[in-house]
Structure 1
Amino acid sequence: MSDTQPLIENRPPSVATLFLERVQATPDAEAYRYPVPAAGGPDEWRSYSWGEAADRVFSVAAGLAALGVRPEERVAIASNTRVDWILSDLAILCSGAATTTVYPSTNAEETAYILADSSSRVLIAEDASQLAKAREKRSELPELSHVVVIEEADAVSAEGDPEDWVLSLSELARRGRVYLDTHPECVKETVAALRADQLATLIYTSGTTGKPKGVRLPHDCWSYMAKAIAQTGLVTQDDVQYLWLPLAHVFGKVLTAAQVEVGHVTAVDGRIDKIIENLPVVQPSYMAAVPRIFEKVYNGVAAKAKAGSPVKYKIFLWAAGVAREYGKVTQDNFRRTGVASAPVGLKAKHAVADKLVYAKIREAFGGNLRACISGSAALAPDIGYFFSGAGIHILEGYGLTESSAASFVNPGEAYRTGTVGKPLPGTEVRIADDGEILLRGPGIMEGYHQLPDKTAEVLEEDGWFHTGDIGELSTDGYLRITDRKKDLIKTSGGKYIAPAEVEGQFKAICPYVSNILVHGADRNFCTALIALDEVSLMQWAGDQDGLKDRPYSEVVASEQVRKMVEDYVEQLNSGLQRWQTIKKFRILPRDLDVEHGELTPSLKLKRPAVEREFGHLIEEMYAGSREA
């Protein structure tokens, strides 16, 4: 630990401090790129230098001070990922206040709960739809004194609004500039007075059960994360990051802190439907994503090949097998010798497959990608090895909202698919007797907001945090997550099963699956609910007798689809232990989604919600069995 002591003991108190240092060091360097929609053509990308970003940040920070916002009071942001989110967050930090994050997809009722529970004084709302949620619940939000709307045209007061309750972000910045005329040093003085233990962020866990809990993350968590990520050497000042992840989620948020410390360019656009279009334009050298994105890319490529011709699909399957073998062999050799080598015969096959398949995949990612960071959920190893062999290096990481997101990450060239890598400098890890992963370090939360009993359940007095995840540590410090403690299921025969492991294997086999839930707790066999991806399934259906031009609802209910999925389930079962095998399955009539409450905003499966919604299908599968 000696080499990490300076990192732990001598870091500045806040990311606001780091921001001021960054602006002073490289004021003219490009900081952010953002798209401006153009009528009838492609988006125009514009930039902020660090100096220009600081002008905007200081104006908004002073504007918050002019509204009467004081240190540690909460200012909420409800917006999609865009450059204004990042600049507003930095302004909140520089004003001494604390950011409450709200997913833009959150409904009015839960938005009101978060705003009330956090006692947020101001809401920075993206547009009219976010403003409408606050307006609908205004009677329940007596402490909310202002709603600041990013889209200027949407900052319109309505009958019944208190005076000055709605204003635009531009108007707030204008007021801030006026305030700076009479208090020119107010922002710098506020930042200088910040303490490491002051509240910086309240992030409400989307959670797979119950009401969201506010996770209290002080300034020190983010300052530590910024320094620790920089020390890994995974990102450099020359990098271009493509950032589309939701910034209300801790995974997206931690990337903004690291960027301030490192000083590289970040291209920001949270429109998921624009990712494919943006990648060749931005040409990022690194980006972060959740496993669902990589699964969709893989399944999309596989489905496209299958729709092309039997020969094209055969070539793809061959190339996919070569990629997985190449990924495994090169990683194993690097582990043993420090060189990512492969036998001559495998290299020759890989070179052919690269020309036919892999080069096109890399081009789709912009052609300049050094690595991707994957987090928030487990990536199926077969998907990881495929991309590894194709030259898209996916470095899995691990962390929770309660640990400021980045507790573990794979170390660059020495990454190991199927693991989440090694702990960040300054983070300690311990595996409890029951296999639970415990963490301790500067990234761990202060506690849950106004929930001391809940805090005590997971945070020990000596700082060890109980993650609720089960894992294994290798002798040289790589962590493998095997499952959520509460998601492990035990059959009536006494066998333990990790459903996520089985689900991940199926996703790597079936190119048409979108989501799968394996069920079997206290039952005598396992079953599965399977949701299919509409785009890839409809491409497949176009080549099937009797299914062409039929709607998704009819296709997904057809006997041809059931038989096709059954073949993939049999393929899955051939590689499982007997007690893990899927004896019965049902295909869902629609995909799972955030709107129905079946996925979290970071696309994690909410098992209880899915089991409630489709409980009749589960019971149908067990009808007549002895344990049903």
Structure 2
Amino acid sequence: MGLERYHGVGILGFNSPEWFITDIAAILAGGFAVGIYTTNSPEACQYVAENCHANILVVENHKQLQKILQVEDKLPHLKAIIQYKDVLKEKRPNLYTWAEFMAMGSDVPDTQLDSIIASQRPNQCCTLIYTSGTTGQPKGVMLSHDNLTWTAYATGLHVRLTDANVAQESVVSYLPLSHIAAQMVDIWLTMRVGGATYFAQPDALKGTLINTLREVRPTAFMGVPRVWEKMQEKLKSAGAKSSTVRRKVATWAKGVGLQTNLSKMKGGSTAPASLNYRLAKKLVFRKVRKALGLDRCTKCYTGAAPIAKETLEFFLSLDMPVYELYGMSESTGPHTISLPDAFYLTSCGKVISGCETKIFSPDEEGIGEVCFWGRHVFMGYLNMPDKTEEALDAEGWLHSGDLGKQNTDGFLFITGRIKELIITAGGENIPPVPIEDAVKEAVPLISNAMLIGDKRKFLSMLLTIKCQVNADTGEPEDELTEEAVEQCRKLGSTATRVSQIARGRDNVIDTAIQEGIKRVNDKAVSNAQRIQKWIVLERDFSIPGGELGPTMKLKRPVVLKMYKEQIDNIYKEMVTPKLEPGNGGRHTNFSPVEVLL
């Protein structure tokens, strides 16, 4: 097919055996394996394909093929397109089915491939991971053979994966393989220990993931925070429908589970488990794990975005510790990882052996930029020497752009991201995530919260309500989730739809939200960190809507642009509203939603 050395092989499709085969084949054939997000527009696909000089593009189906055909004339390096699922709806030059592609290899002698493999070196680039472009054009992160193989080896040792000669590890592949987290877990780590990878359905994140988990019963599971939050919502909803006796038993068991696991976390007794714990495990914990398909899972992880403490405590109370890990594409995935005998709530764990962490220019609280060093640090950004120089200093330290601190035991805590820091008109630096998490915990009805206030005189917040998601499109719907309806009933509201709540249409819900925000404001360290105004939007954030990235991470610049009119309306009052003593940030003369009406 004419693949040239150091040219890209783009893969545009959902996780599948063909994805894996293409990725590894591209590397062995001397090209770059390049994942492309299935949610990308034709123009975004064009950018990635052109940036890596892609000779070959492998697409899943007709839908993804159409994206490439729309921009094909703008891809001068493209020589062939392969579609690996469904029947081709049209015949075109240099367009092949998967079967045709596989058949072509039968005429290529092994010696030709062997010579290319023999010429490769550990420090040469083999994979490109494109950042999701939340703050500008995506950057092609260049990862070497050594980056991938060493990181898989070191991480496998760190998390104590079992070699297949003893017992086979199994994972479910469902997160986008264009992302380093999925590639490291699903391909490289699993391959390193001889594990088995099972593929979820393409609509996994729309509700079918649970069915795959129950069927596979993986031994390790990696979920982004939104996946764990969705599981939490489902379990709470199911619990609300249980009988009074079952609810009381569950509440008792969760109390036992939380205290037992918090004691373990703090280095408590290693004596045999108490009678209460053993009973709670038999009556509740095992049943919950089985219902989730995680009854064999000894390694539950979360990463790629911040997770709320309340969610971690919820699963901890069910005797299901969810261990945080932290890293980035530029560090070939993980840098710090929590372990069963070394974890701390809200910490991302300790550094992997062979790597180092440095807190650059710490303030009086020990908070500074988190920097990485080790064999997992990337080569640089493809065709972007200026961006590479910004990320890698002269001593080889990778500057993450994240703010964090380490405690005396070596646990890393991420406190925010430099680019996400809100710097108010008064000059105060405010990390948004802790405040957003606090609001979501105080008001369980809230799905997403985004703090606003950069260069503004006061803080405000955009809120969305938990709603049903269309199983086919992934679009948020107007109908509330069962849990949200239950919350409304407890508060005294009859609302069943977002449209009945948004823009101040439900006084009961407005009051509940304001009371929750007041509780958050009461804990604020300064007036500048209090939320002065808020609005409830008409629809939740989503991947199809553009507000969330492929791993459910909030795309703040996109949200700011999409909701500019609503945000500008919030700040139409030229004078900063004055706080009444003890009113938690509520306006003296008007309600938080009046500015939009």
Alpha-carbon spacing, 1:418–1:546, altered in 2? closer, same or farther (3 Å)? closer
Instruction: Please tell me the residue identity of whatever aligns with 2:480.
Output: L
Identify the match of residue 566 of structure 2 among 617, 620, 623: 617
Identify the match of residue 377 of structure 1 among 275, 298, 305: 305
Report deviation, 1:148.
Answer: 0.6
SS in structure 2 of the partner of residue 407 of structure 1:
strand
Report deviation, 1:305.
Answer: 3.4
SS in structure 1 of the partner of residue 122 of structure 2:
coil
**How far apart are the structure 1 equivalents of 2:493 and 2:515?**
20
Provide Cα deviations, 1:370-389, integer angstroms capped at 9, x if missing partner.
Answer: 12121101122222122123
Does the 8 Å contact 1:205/1:213 carry over to 2? Answer: yes
2:485 aligns with 541
User: How many residues are treated as equivalent by the alignment?
Assistant: 546
Report deviation, 1:356.
Answer: 5.9
Does the 8 Å contact 1:436/1:471 carry over to 2? Answer: yes
Does the 8 Å contact 1:74/1:97 carry over to 2? Answer: yes
1:83 aligns with 17
> Are 1:173 and 2:102 an aligned pair?
yes
2:499 aligns with 553
Report deviation, 1:106.
Answer: 0.5
2:588 aligns with none
Percent identity between matched residues is: 28
Report deviation, 1:132.
Answer: 0.6
2:69 aligns with 135
Identify the match of residue 332 of structure 1 among 255, 260, 266: 266
Alpha-carbon spacing, 1:316–1:107, altered in 2? closer, same or farther (3 Å)? farther
Identify the match of residue 198 of structure 1 among 117, 120, 124: 124
Instruction: Please tell me the residue identity of whatever aligns with 1:268.
Output: F
Identify the match of residue 530 of structure 2 among 581, 601, 604: 581
Greater relative contact order, per chain length (Cα 8 Å cut-off, separation 6+) = 1
**How far apart are the structure 1 equivalents of 2:155 and 2:28?**
22
**How far apart are the structure 1 equivalents of 2:102 and 2:51?**
27
Does the 8 Å contact 1:402/1:445 carry over to 2? Answer: yes
SS in structure 2 of the partner of residue 443 of structure 1:
coil
1:363 aligns with 290
Does the 8 Å contact 1:327/1:385 carry over to 2? Answer: no
Report deviation, 1:110.
Answer: 0.7
Gaps (5+ residues) in structure 2? 363-367, 469-478, 578-597
SS in structure 2 of the partner of residue 72 of structure 1:
coil
Report deviation, 1:185.
Answer: 3.4
1:98 aligns with 32
Alpha-carbon spacing, 1:85–1:287, altered in 2? closer, same or farther (3 Å)? same
Identify the match of residue 429 of structure 1 among 343, 357, 367: 357
**How far apart are the structure 2 equivalents of 1:394 and 1:291?**
10
Alpha-carbon spacing, 1:152–1:619, altered in 2? closer, same or farther (3 Å)? closer
SS in structure 2 of the partner of residue 466 of structure 1:
strand
SS in structure 1 of the partner of residue 110 of structure 2:
coil
**How far apart are the structure 1 equivalents of 2:516 and 2:19?**
43
Instruction: Please tell me the residue identity of whatever aligns with 1:388.
Output: L
**How far apart are the structure 2 equivalents of 1:361 and 1:517?**
32
Report deviation, 1:577.
Answer: 3.2
1:388 aligns with 316
**How far apart are the structure 2 equivalents of 1:361 and 1:562?**
34
Provide Cα deviations, 1:352-408, integer angstroms capped at 9, x if missing partner.
Answer: 655665444312222212121211011222221221231222111111111111111
Does the 8 Å contact 2:61/2:83 carry over to 1? Answer: yes
Alpha-carbon spacing, 1:512–1:308, altered in 2? closer, same or farther (3 Å)? farther
Does the 8 Å contact 1:227/1:261 carry over to 2? Answer: yes
**How far apart are the structure 2 equivalents of 1:551 and 1:329?**
42
Instruction: Please tell me the residue identity of whatever aligns with 1:537.
Output: L
Instruction: Please tell me the residue identity of whatever aligns with 1:427.
Output: C
Report deviation, 1:567.
Answer: 4.0
Provide Cα deviations, 1:155-187, integer angstroms capped at 9, x if missing partner.
Answer: 3435xx4x2x210122111111232xxx13333
Instruction: Please tell me the residue identity of whatever aligns with 1:258.
Output: L
Report deviation, 1:627.
Answer: 4.2
SS in structure 1 of the partner of residue 69 of structure 2:
helix
1:461 aligns with 394
- Which structure: greater helix fraction? 1
Provide Cα deviations, 1:228-273, integer angstroms capped at 9, x if missing partner.
Answer: 1122143213222122111001111111111111111221225323
> Are 1:217 and 2:165 an aligned pair?
no
Greater shift after overlay, 308-317 or 236-245? 308-317
**How far apart are the structure 1 equivalents of 2:438 and 2:24?**
41
SS in structure 2 of the partner of residue 75 of structure 1:
strand
Alpha-carbon spacing, 1:441–1:400, altered in 2? closer, same or farther (3 Å)? same
Greater shift after overlay, 186-195 or 140-149? 186-195
SS in structure 2 of the partner of residue 253 of structure 1:
helix
Instruction: Please tell me the residue identity of whatever aligns with 1:332.
Output: K
Identify the match of residue 190 of structure 2 among 256, 259, 271: 259
SS in structure 1 of the partner of residue 569 of structure 2:
helix
Instruction: Please tell me the residue identity of whatever aligns with 1:139.
Output: D
**How far apart are the structure 2 equivalents of 1:530 and 1:311?**
35
**How far apart are the structure 1 equivalents of 2:210 and 2:481?**
20
> Are 1:207 and 2:133 an aligned pair?
yes
2:173 aligns with 243
Report deviation, 1:507.
Answer: 3.2
2:447 aligns with 514
Instruction: Please tell me the residue identity of whatever aligns with 2:485.
Output: A
SS in structure 2 of the partner of residue 137 of structure 1:
helix
Instruction: Please tell me the residue identity of whatever aligns with 2:172.
Output: Y
Gaps (5+ residues) in structure 1? 1-66
**How far apart are the structure 2 equivalents of 1:612 and 1:73?**
35
SS in structure 2 of the partner of residue 483 of structure 1:
strand
Does the 8 Å contact 1:100/1:201 carry over to 2? Answer: yes
Report deviation, 1:323.
Answer: 4.3
Does the 8 Å contact 1:243/1:288 carry over to 2? Answer: no
CA RMSD in angstroms comes to 2.6
**How far apart are the structure 1 equivalents of 2:230 and 2:353?**
33
Report deviation, 1:428.
Answer: 1.7
Report deviation, 1:416.
Answer: 2.0
**How far apart are the structure 1 equivalents of 2:253 and 2:451?**
29
2:542 aligns with 593
**How far apart are the structure 2 equivalents of 1:144 and 1:509?**
52
Greater shift after overlay, 110-119 or 582-591? 582-591
TM norm structure 2: 0.85
Report deviation, 1:524.
Answer: 4.2
Instruction: Please tell me the residue identity of whatever aligns with 1:577.
Output: V
1:17 aligns with none
